Chains A and B, each alone.
Chain A
Amino acid sequence: MAYRKDMIWLAFFFGLLMLAPALLPNNYYLTILILGCLHAMNAVGLCLLVGHAGQISLGHAGFYGLGAYTSSYLSTTVGLSVGLSMLSGVALTVVVSILVGLPSLKLKGHYLAMATLGFGIILSILFTETVDITGGPSGFVGIPRLSLFGFELRKDVTLYRAVAVMLCLIVWFSFNLLHSRVGRALRALHTSERAAEAMGVDIARYKLLVFVLSAAFSGIAGVLYAHYLTFIAPSSFGFMFSVELIVMVVLGGMISVPGAIVGAFFVTVLPEFLRAFENIEVLLFGAILILCMMFLPDGMAGGWNRLWSWGKARLSGAAHE
């Protein structure tokens, strides 16, 4: 039942994404929409990791950057085809996430937060300092545009459609995962690791699986980002971006995949709206974060659910009278 509800939501979301370009007045909005989709891929991965498995990560910007830089380097400097570069980018992200995940996931709470944070910072320093490979602080230029089966996606709308489809595939995969044996194991793990272990759940394996999966989503988003913008710089993959990703998930409501997506779009769009306020933009962003957490402690998904049940209670109350 819940699965059907999720699939209906996904179909609705897919329709909305496909219709969106027709409703937008110009290309500027399309850029925001593409970035929103890329952020949403990251957020869905973190939603699985933080919301469902209860493992915090403050280093996912590092995986995002790793995907982006690997694919850029391979396609530009080495001269590999874009498709192969992208695959390698995601593959490397997966390998690194296993190497980091194995020792890190023995840690809990603040210690895990610190380990992932440290990892993210080390990567972002590497992006800045290995000038020969990454171009250093001034960035990596001349990355080829995204192409599929030899066709370069020259028009932004086509590229947007490819990104949107990828996002929907990730969401679809995540829904299926959550409704499977793995999803149940994760829920058990989140509630109580000990109890889950007693029930025969191999917690180490599941924790690693989700960690690697979320890193892979970030890697996918990263390679798409690089071949969409054709220019990347280390500042996009720093600590603050890892924080923003967590904010997206928490604002959306932690355990809700649709919530994470809404949170991702919200955090992407908000600065654009606040741009009109120029200097107080950052100030407002901070204030909105604080206020959201104060008045929507379980995120937008939680707020929506409360509104929904309140409305339903009101309606059924009215029907009884």
Chain B
Amino acid sequence: MDPSSLLQYLITGLTLGSTYGLTALGFTIIFNTTGVINFAQGEFVMLGGMMSVYFMHSRGFSEPAAVVLAVLGATMAGALVERLAIRPVRDCPTINLIIITIGVSIFIRGLAMLLWGKDTHVLEPFSGNQPIMFLGAAIMPQAIWVLVISLFLLGALKMFFSGTIHGKAMLACSFDSKAASLVGIGVQRMVLLSFMISALVGAVGGVILAPITMTSYDVGIMLGLKGFAACILGGLGNPFGAAAGGVILGVLESFGAGFVSSAYKDALAFVILLILLFVKPSGLFGLKDSKRV
């Protein structure tokens, strides 16, 4: 296998992996403040892609404006989900919360199908289709956008969690919500915030991926599952481990598709995951006991 194809696979993998990572990040943000695995996370990703297509093609906004509106829209959706479906049932068992988030994901998917139909849509790449040649590999400009925006978002979140009072309050909630409320943190507000941030992160992932893989009302299921897998791969509860897990999953998947068969690329991700779960269930970067806040 020549080095230029290796590079090509690596870049494809990094691009896909970044969006899995962003989805996984969304999972962990909510999981950390609430202990809930939000099965509607993939739907936020879908909303990001579909809404930007809608604002751009049906409402005639310019692409940057459409993208911003889409991300804001998805963030609003995140807030609505928390207020309408999660908050009223805060104290019920985990499995009920899982079912509720599944209900939410079915609902959002149904709504998207009703509003925008079953067709697959494509969003224009942010800066053209002219590939950049680099060491014999063709890099699409969109891939660079994906990588840069993902890294930027990751950095911003890191700063948010360690540098702002809200971020620290959210970390406190994840550590012990009772203790957090005792020191005067509005836990409910933090939960709301966590839903909004994870919807925002997911939607950004959806928007930047849409020009590469296209989008439709049902892309959320597989993206959500891959994100969930990435989350476990990196260690549930560790946001940056989850992001790394996404990247690893994406790269392995891309190499698997290149070397083995593209038909089984989705299966490969889950085979790796199963092996990891059986060998080291806490994930690659899982924190066992020590959890610093």
Contact = CB atoms under 8 A, between A and B. Distances in A.
Contact of A122 (B104, B221, B270): B270
A270 interface: no
A280 B111 CA distance: 8
A294 B277 contact: no
Interface in B109-124: 109-111, 113-114
A242 to B, nearest CB: 11
B263 interface: yes
Contacts, number: 115
A243 interface: yes
Contact of A286 (B37, B88, B110): B110
A114 B229 contact: yes
B96 A297 contact: yes
Nearest to B224: A239
Contact of A103 (B88, B264, B278): B278
A283 B110 contact: yes
A286 B114 contact: no
A114 B273 CA distance: 9
B102 A243 contact: yes
Nearest to A117: B225
B267 A282 contact: no
B236 interface: yes
A293 B100 contact: yes
A107 B102 contact: no
B89 interface: yes
Interface residues on B, range: 35 or more
B71 interface: no
Nearest to B117: A279
A191 to B, nearest CB: 14
B195 interface: no
B22 to A, nearest CB: 19
A297 B89 contact: yes
Interface string A93-125: 000000000011011011101110111011001
Contact of B264 (A114, A115, A129, A250): A129
Contact of A107 (B105, B228, B271, B277): B277
A109 B236 CA distance: 11
Interface of A: 50, 56, 103-104, 106-107, 109-111, 113-115, 117-119, 121-122, 125-126, 129, 239-240, 243, 246-247, 250-251, 254, 279-290, 293-294, 297
11 contacts: A117-B225, A117-B228, A129-B267, A246-B99, A283-B111, A286-B108, A289-B103, A290-B103, A290-B104, A294-B88, A294-B89
Interface of B: 37, 85, 88-89, 92-96, 99-100, 102-111, 113-114, 221, 225, 228-229, 232, 236, 263-264, 266-267, 270-271, 273-274, 277-278, 281
